């Protein structure tokens, strides 16, 4: 299994940046790193993905370590709507994703 390690929970104040870490020491050279988030009673929602270079989109930024064994999802200004469980996944085939238990993010008003 392509396992990742994430903190169980994190807190952030509203309007402040949040850095969500992930360790993926078993990643192979062709694995993409994907981040998803899941709100209660909803399916996971795609956030961002990358291979080697740091990536930015309208939702977040993804910083990938040079050895690719870890990555960090960056939410630049946390809002209450960002409160969710965040999952980090790596996959080389895109066929099956192995979700861990993710990081539950609490945003404090």
Interaction mask 72-101, another protein, x per CB under 8 A: -------------x-x---xxxxxxxxxxx
Q: Which of residues 19-58 bind another protein (CB under 8 A)?
A: 32, 34, 36, 41-46, 49, 51
Selection from 104, 98, 108, 33 nearest residue 71 by Cα = 33
How far are the Cα atoms of 14, 17, 20, 89, 109 from residue 70, in angstroms, in the given order? Answer: 26, 19, 11, 11, 29
Nearer to another protein, 13 or 92 (CB): 92
Question: What are the residues binding another protein (CB under 8 A)?
Answer: 32, 34, 36, 41-46, 49, 51, 85, 87, 91-102
């Amino acid at each position: 299994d392509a396992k990742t390690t994430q903190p169980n929970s994190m807190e952030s104040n509203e309007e402040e940046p949040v850095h969500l870490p992930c360790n993926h020491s078993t990643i192979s050279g062709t694995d993409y790193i994907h981040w998803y988030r899941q709100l209660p009673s909803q399916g996971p929602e795609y956030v961002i993905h990358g291979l080697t270079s740091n990536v930015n989109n309208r939702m977040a930024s993804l910083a990938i370590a040079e050895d690719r064994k870890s990555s960090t999802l960056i939410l630049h200004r946390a809002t209450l709507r960002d409160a969710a469980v965040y999952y980090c996944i790596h996959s080389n085939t895109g066929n099956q994703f192995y979700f861990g238990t993710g990081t539950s993010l609490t945003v404090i008003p």
